[in-house]
Amino acid sequence: MSFSQSHLLGIEPLSPSDITAILDLADQYVDLNRREVKHSDALAGLTQINMFFENSTRTQASFELAGKRLGADVMSMAMQASSIKKGETLIDTALTLNAMHPDLLVVRHPHSGAVDLLAQKVKCAVLNAGDGRHEHPTQALLDALTIRRAKGRLHRLSIAICGDIAHSRVARSNILLLGKMENRVRLVGPPTLMPSQISEFGVEVFEDMREGLRDVDVVMMLRLQRERMDGGFIPSEREYYHRYGLDADKLSHAKPDAIVMHPGPMNRGVEIDGEIADDINRSVIQEQVEMGVAVRMAAMDLLARNLRARPKEVLA
């Protein structure tokens, strides 16, 4: 099992075998997490720092749990409350961190490319926990693992990603990952929420949701941010729900065994009907959360192996 990267900044630089390496190891960690004693020493002695420059509950908790289960010393910093308010630049923050000798750095930032910038300046392995509208690689990986376990494969599937594609890093990472693994990706949403020239990414774009969901294996819903519902991008919440909310009628156009996914947190009654979200035969939303911890354990484990394989003077 080999993993070619020293950071996990996005799906873009990963090869299909990198992706498979993470997913295969994550499968093992799913088993570990279901045992009574959920502990391994893969990261023992290493320090993991979570830096979230943007609010997050789930992703931060998931990374924290993943690090702790692997025996790392984990510290979480809520950056929006601290030095960034005092005018410290990202580069200064990186220099400060270097002095603390972390081994794994998990970063979320509201601006695209900010995690790449930080990764150039720190000496440890960096994991992107979401940067602006750019990428959210661990979300795409946990989605991939969920699909692979539910469908038995991660290729030649037809997958619809629905909703606010334009502002979504989850959508970008998923488009890249599912494309690399040779799936057919459809994007469904109003044109005001589609990035420009998105059709050049090798995807099919649908404005009509029923048409977009026809015969798909996977329906992946995206969260619609509250601040985008007030007439700027879509006329209103209720019109959005009518045209793009996932309900039983729209879902009936997908394959009978199609699964329903959502990265959370959900807006019930905005992008998804509550009953569908809770339907244990269709919804894999709870599994996604479970896979999230396992995928993050796998990613950090693989990065730590590469870190330990580096020559000592580089580590110092």
Partner 1 sequence: MKTLFTNARLIDPENGTDRPGALLVENGTIKELVYGGNPDLGVAAVDCGGKCLAPGIVDIGVKVCEPGERHKESYKSAGMAAAAGGITTMITRPDTLPATDSPETLEFVARRANEAAPVNVLPMAALTKGRAGREMTEIGFLMDAGAVAFTDCDHVITDTKVFSRALTYARSLGALVIAHPQEPGLSAGAAATSGKFASLRGLPAVSPMAERMGLDRDIALLEMTGARYHADQITTGRALPALERAKRNGLDITAGTSIHHLTLNELDVADYRTFFKVKPPLRSEDDRQAVIAAVREGLIDTISSMHTPQDEESKRLPFEEAASGAVALETLLPAALRLYHSGDLDLPTLFRAMALNPAKRLGLYSGRLAAGAPADLVLFDADAPFVLDRWKLNSKSKNTPFDGARLQGKVRATYVAGTCVFEAP
Site residues, partner 1 (CB under 8 A) = 12, 89-91, 109, 111-114, 116-117, 131-135, 169, 172, 195-198, 200-201
CB of 176 to partner 1, least distance (A): 9
CB of 197 to partner 1, least distance (A): 4
CB of 10 to partner 1, least distance (A): 10
In the complex with partner 1, the residue whose CB is nearer, 169 or 186, is 169
In the complex with partner 1, the residue whose CB is nearer, 146 or 174, is 174
Provide DSSP, 86-146. Answer: GT--HHHHHHHHHTT--SEEEEEESSTTHHHHHHHH-SSEEEEEEETTTB-HHHHHHHHHH
CB of 172 to partner 1, least distance (A): 6
In the complex with partner 1, the residue whose CB is nearer, 133 or 282, is 133
Widest Cα–Cα separation across the chain: 61
CB of 210 to partner 1, least distance (A): 26
> Does residue 256 have a cis peptide bond before it, meaning omega lies within 30 degrees of 0?
no
Give every CB contact of residue 140 below 8 A, 6+ residues apart in sequence: 11, 170, 173, 174, 176, 177, 178
Read off φ and ψ for residue 290, nearest 5 degrees: -65, -45
Letter string b/e over residues 45-56, b meaning 16 or more CB atoms within 10 A of that residue's CB? ebbbbbbbbbeb
Residue 161: closest CA among 95, 86, 213, 197:
213
In the complex with partner 1, the residue whose CB is nearer, 90 or 293, is 90
In the complex with partner 1, the residue whose CB is nearer, 4 or 89, is 89
Read off φ and ψ for residue 188, nearest 5 degrees: -125, 125
In the complex with partner 1, the residue whose CB is nearer, 53 or 240, is 53
**CA 287, chain centre distance (Å):** 14
* Contact between 48 and 75 (Cβ < 8 Å): yes
CB of 167 to partner 1, least distance (A): 9
Q: Are strands 218-221 and 204-206 parallel, antiparallel or unpaired?
A: unpaired
In the complex with partner 1, the residue whose CB is nearer, 45 or 113, is 113
CB of 201 to partner 1, least distance (A): 7
